[in-house]
Structure 1
């Protein structure tokens, strides 16, 4: 599993994931579960690897920072 998410992309994903997850506490009972979608950008940001990027052949990190 090679890293395919760059540092800026990772930071944006982590922040976006945390913001979306925080909606869990704001939304009503019917929509509360939808905030769990924030786990996707959070986990991909923390891991540095995005499966969709792999399928599409996208890489936002430089070659030398790949693990």
Structure 2
């Protein structure tokens, strides 16, 4: 897997995941919507740790900075 996520993108995903988890565990988000968003938060954390987002590959996106020293 080639990294396609930059540090800012990873940080934003982790912050959003923390907010969603806090809302779920405080009872603000409940029911099916709460569970779906909690799963989405888990996906955000996982993709942040591996610096790879499969959807970015499908759409040809990358927020990872280009390394100009290689090549």
What is the TM-score when the length of structure 2 is the normalising length? 0.74
1:25-44 correspondence to structure 2 within 5 Å: 25=25, 26-27=27-28, 29-31=30-32, 32-36=34-38, 37-44=40-47
What is the TM-score when the length of structure 1 is the normalising length? 0.78
The Cα RMSD (Å) is: 1.7
Q: Which structure has the larger Rg? A: 2
Unaligned runs of 5+ in 2: none
Runs of 4 or more off by more than 2 Å in structure 1? 26-32
User: How many aligned positions are there?
Assistant: 64
Unaligned runs of 5+ in 1: none
